[in-house]
Amino acid sequence: MVDLDNASVYRQFDKSGMLNHLHEFPEQCQKAWEKVLKFELPREYTRISNIIILGMGGSAIGGDIARRLALAESKLPVWVHRDYGLPAFVDASTLVIASSYSGDTEETLSAFTESLRTPARKLVITSGGKLKHLAENEGIPAFVVDYQAPPRAAFPHNFVPLVGIFQKLGLLRDKSADLQEAVDILNKLSREFMETRSLTSNPAKQLAAKLWGHIAVIYGAEMLSEVAQRWKAQFNENSKAWAFFESFPELNHNAVVGYEFPLEAKERIFVLMLRSSSLRSRSLLRYEATAKLLAKTGIAYEFAEARGESALAQVMSLVLLGDYSSFYLAMLNEVDPTSIDAINFIKQYLAQSVVPSD
């Protein structure tokens, strides 16, 4: 197994500098918050009855987590749309938020272009590309990200601005104190997860070592369900590894029955349960019962505990642990975490197709 305490490993496999983005994560959260607080929304944007966030992959997961936070505080429905086109409910009382880091995401552009034919209010979060050009041409407010990174590594700029926008719209109460708590915790955790911290005292390295050679299945409840989805995607993209996620309580109504077969899977599956003391007591009981079933079936598992008091801090603390763990798993798999050859193949294949986009 690759020695994660050997500095040459990072020079050898992290050819595109993903580690630098991990180092900058807390700072970028702070910068994104300061920027969104200065971002002005048209006054009429507060007169809406629903919100739909358009996005894919790393640009959409921020919307998923922000939506979950809003569910706890707002009566306004928020929908995350990962597809072409638009749902039929979009109307003059809808706020459409198109989130694409590159600004060239095919599905997001399809949905946003369709939204231009509706009376819905519109907003864009992007670093450039066609989406920024469309917004400028149509006079649509755009929150422009000025951080250069792969979309998944730009999570602070895909998530934190949405928290600030939701606050301005009245969906969330003032999150300034929670954001500061989150940044403080992220700075502390960064020191714990840093590559210079040895395996014996580095939780992210330890988790990656346990996952090496296994298929990660990530469980989460309530606000941690979307974080589990983030972990799954990070293990896919950074580690080039199979990974899946499930949500409590739904998984207790089906997934737990499937632990038995195939027998060979028991040796390869590793279940990660993202947990927080802030979850409902019944949810926490489900974690306990599920752990007992996993142990009885002989499937390896581990809990990953959130840090902090606020929901915002807890969510972001686990996001950072997942990001670092997926990076270290990439090192163990001896791959560049930034490369996305499979995704690029799909894009090229679609580009060569003569079938018109819908």
Q: Counting beta carbons within 10 angstroms of the beta carbon of residue 79, is it exposed (0 to 12), middle (13 to 18) or buried (19 or more)?
A: middle
Once rounded to an integer, what is the mean pLDDT over residues 201-224? 98
132 is catalytic: no
pLDDT at 179 over 60: yes
Other beta carbons within 10 Å of 265: 13
What's the pLDDT band for 354 if we cut at 50, 70, 90?
low
122 is catalytic: no
**Among the options 195, 222, 226, 237, which is catalytic?**
237
288 is catalytic: no
Full set of structural domains in the chain with CATH: 7-11+178-332 (3.40.50.10490), 18-174 (3.40.50.10490)
**Average pLDDT of the chain?**
97
pLDDT at 353 over 90: no
Strand arrangement of the beta sheet that strand 121-126 belongs to:
78-81, 50-54, 94-100, 121-126, 142-144
- Per-residue pLDDT tens over the stretch 99-145: 999 999 999 999 999 999 999 999 999 999 999 999 999 999 999 99
**Among the options 253, 260, 264, 296, which is catalytic?**
253
SS3 3: coil
DSSP secondary-structure letter at 340? -
**Among the options 31, 188, 210, 347, which is catalytic?**
347
- Per-residue pLDDT tens over the stretch 13-48: 999 999 999 999 999 999 999 999 999 999 999 999
Does the CA dihedral 126-128-134-136 come out positive or negative?
positive
pLDDT at 355 over 70: no
pLDDT at 358 over 60: no
Single pTM value for the model: 0.97
- Per-residue pLDDT tens over the stretch 254-312: 999 999 999 999 999 999 999 999 999 999 999 999 999 999 999 999 999 999 999 99
Other beta carbons within 10 Å of 119: 11
Q: What is the pLDDT of residue 164?
A: 98
300-336: burial string, b at 16+ Cβ within 10 Å, e else: bbeebebbbebbbbbbbbbbbbbbbbbbbbbbbbebb
User: What percentage of the chain exceeds 90 in pLDDT?
Assistant: 97
pLDDT at 195 over 80: yes
Q: What is the pLDDT of residue 176?
A: 98
